[in-house]
Amino acid sequence: MTAPRTAKIERKTGETDIALELNLDGSGRCDVACPIGFLSHMLASFCKHGLFDLSGSLSGDLEVDQHHLVEDTGIALGQAFDKALADRAGISRAGSFLYPMDETLARAAVDFGGRPFLVCELALSGAVPVTGSDAEIAAGKAPAAFQTDTVDDFWQGFAAGAKCNLHIDIIRGRSDHHKIEAAFKAVARALKAAVTVESRLGGAVPSTKGTLTT
C-alpha cells in the first residue's frame, strides 16, 4: 500500500493566518473557511476538478485589501503540493489541459521540475462586481467585489511554493468570472495529470538528473 500523499501547512504573518490540509488523492472535497466569497468558489472548483481534498481556514487583513490573503493562500497551497509530492518519485511530472467555459477557453500547462516560473496571461478587465440585493448593497452588507489583479499573485505564489513551472493563458473570453474560473479548472486538471502516479516508472524520479528537488 502506498503512503498517503498529504500535507499540512501553516502560514502566519503580520498580515495573514492560513492553515491548510491537502490530500492529492482525494475525491474533490473542499472545506476551507474563507472570508472572500469568490476565492472560496474558486478553491471549491479547483478541488472538484483536480480531485484534491482541501480543508482549513484563511484569514487576513482585508481592511487593507484582498492582496495579502489571496497571494499567501497561493503560496500555502503551493507549499502543500510540494510537501505532499516529496521527492516526486513515480509521478507523471507534467500535465496540460484546455478548459472551455461558455465563451471562454483557458489553457494550463505545468511541470513539477523543481524550478518555479509563472507565465499568466488572463486578459482580465477589472473587478468581479459585488453580489446581493440593492438593500444589502446600500447597507454595506453585500460581499465585496473580488480584486481580479490578485489572481496573478495567487498563481505566482503557488508556482513559487510548489516549485513548478506554470503557464496559464486565456485564449478567448469575455467575462472575468468565466476567465478566472476556467483558469482554476484548467490548472486543476493539468495538476491532476502531473501528480498522477505512472506505474511504468516503477517509483523512479521522472528526470534524467535523478532528482527534481535540487
208 part of a folded domain: no
Q: What is the pLDDT along the chain (214 residues), one digit of tens a residue?
A: 467 899 999 999 999 999 999 999 999 999 999 999 899 999 999 999 999 999 999 999 988 889 999 999 999 999 999 999 998 988 989 999 999 999 999 999 999 988 999 999 999 987 676 665 556 555 566 667 889 999 999 999 999 999 999 999 999 999 999 999 999 999 999 999 999 988 877 777 766 576 767 6
Closest CA to 165 of 107, 88, 111: 111
Per the domain annotation, does 1 fall within a domain? no
At residue 1, the pLDDT reads 44
Residue 173 C-alpha cell reads as 473570453
Q: Give the SS3 label for residue 206.
A: coil
So what's the pLDDT on residue 20?
Answer: 98
Report how many domains make up the chain. 1
d(CA 205, CA 193): 16
> How many H-runs (helices) and E-runs (strands) does the chain carry?
5, 10
Query: Tell me: the pLDDT tens digits for 47-93?
Result: 999 999 999 999 999 888 899 999 999 999 999 999 999 989 889 89
160 in any annotated domain: yes
Domain that holds residue 194: 6-201
pLDDT at res. 136: 58
Radius of gyration of the chain (CA): 17
Any domain includes 213: no
Q: Which of 11, 124, 13, 123 is nearest to 78 (CA)?
A: 11
104-132 per-residue burial string, b: 16 or more CB within 10 A, e: under 16? bbbbbbbbbbbebebebebebeebbeeee
CATH code for position 42? 3.30.230.40
pLDDT tens digits along 153-163: 999 999 999 99
